[in-house]
Amino acid sequence: MKITSVKIASALAFCLLIPCASACSSVQPSGQSAAKDIPAEKTTSDLPNVKILATGGTIAGTSDSNTDTTDYTSGQLGVDALIAAVPEIKTKADVTGEQIVNFNSPDINSEVLLTLGKRINDLLASQEVDGVVVTHGTDTLEETAYFLNLVVKSEKPVVVVGAMRPSTALSADGPMNLYNAVRLAADPGAKAKGVMVVMNDRIGAARYTTKTNTSATDSFASTEQGYLGEFAGEDIRFNATILKDHTTKTPFDISKLDALPQVDILYSYQNEGRSLFEAAVDAGAKGIVVAGTGNGSMSQIAEEAARKTAADGTLIVRSTRVGSGIVTHKPSDDTDNFVSADSLNPQKARILLSLSLTATTNREQIQENFNIY
């Protein structure tokens, strides 16, 4: 492997912050999982105890050029290097880390989600952990955050954080995002607010926050509902609360699950047909989310295919490709055996449908889940 001067300088910068044996040896190969049953460490200071669970992504990414913000390699730095790069977090909490996986977030799958969710529940059940931060790639960050919002069984803060620029970039946003995430997870005022997303000095609810731009640092937003709060210097300001049920108020129990039902997303467009519905069912899909046009609409041919698919036992959820707004429930949904997605975008609707299918195939109950969560 060719090692450039930029990467050497970056590695040296991380190693100078803590002993090299600790910082440098923590960097794991892309995709490699760390031990998943490490107990929470007991600390002796009066600071809150925050555990950082790392999964890779841009926040742990590097490039040969410090001006490169798009053509970098994700998941190159280990969790110890991330912690060492922001020594200021040690003034806010007793911080320790674990590496769950270390790769690009589109590679996050159901196995990783279940591992992450179970580990967080184990950690938060301990009196030695006051909050959890998950570092994550931004491409699928909102899906993981919403999954955790449904399966974490604690009121203690869980914060998902990422970066839009790699660690080697000029004005990298990861260090400040991580600093804010740790102090939010350590803040008693952050309890019982559901899983939160921290990016660009904003605090978003996992239920509503989504990525809105391919590369801008202010990509993550909650355009219709607004943010839960923001960081104003050293102050954490909460301005709103989420009314949708979450965490301890959901029925989803993953403690005994080792897999999730397959749910596929089909994108609506002009001249669409029935073949993708048939292909999804043939490939084993137990549910299908349709990213419909407008208010979750489909072409006549696609709607006929969806209606037949639902009649044959595969759950169909109508979402929208628009980007915001509520897909309203129509009387025809009840006769067609469709579920309307409320304000969930297709990728989050897929998460909720998959979890719902672990408990029931009853369409009315699943529709109620979409109304509540």
Average the pLDDT over 290-310 and give the result: 98
Share of the chain above pLDDT 90, in %: 87
Considering Cα of 65, then 69, then 70, then 76, what sign does the dihedral take?
Answer: positive
pLDDT at residue 32 above 60?
no
Q: What pLDDT, on a 0 to 100 scale, did the predictor assign at position 45?
A: 79
Inter-residue contact 239 to 193 (CB < 8 Å): no
16-25, 280-289, 322-331: which range is least confident on average? 16-25
Across 10-14, 118-122, 272-276, 339-343, least confident range: 10-14
Q: Summarize the confidence of residues 181-193 as an average pLDDT.
A: 98
User: Count of residues for the chain?
Assistant: 373
Percent of the chain with pLDDT over 70: 88
Tell me the one-letter amino acid at 345.
Answer: N
- 185, 188, 194, 200: CA torsion to nearest 10: -50
Question: Average pLDDT in the 114-123 region?
Answer: 98
Round to whole Å and give the CA distance between 127 and 273: 54
The residue-averaged pLDDT of 42-46 equals 65
Q: Which pLDDT score, from 0 to 100, does residue 313 have?
A: 97
Q: What average pLDDT score do residues 240-261 get?
A: 97
Averaged pLDDT of the chain: 90
CB 167 within 8 A of CB 139: no
Q: What is the pTM of this model?
A: 0.89
Among candidate residues 328, 334, 337, the one with its CA nearest the CA of residue 371: 328
Residue 335 confidence (pLDDT): 97
Looking at the predicted structure, is the pLDDT value of residue 52 above 90?
A: yes
Q: Check if the beta carbon of residue 282 is closer than 8 Å to that of residue 274.
A: no
* 44 band by pLDDT with thresholds 50, 70 and 90: low
Q: Residues 6 or more apart from 342 whose CB is under 8 A from it?
A: 326, 327, 370, 371
**Spatial CB neighbours of 121, under 8 Å, sequence gap ≥ 6:** 151, 152, 153, 154, 254, 255
Model pLDDT, residue 180:
98
Tell whether the torsion through CA atoms of 245, 246, 247 and 253 is positive or negative. Answer: positive
Higher-confidence residue: 40 or 191?
191
**Enzyme catalytic residues:** 58
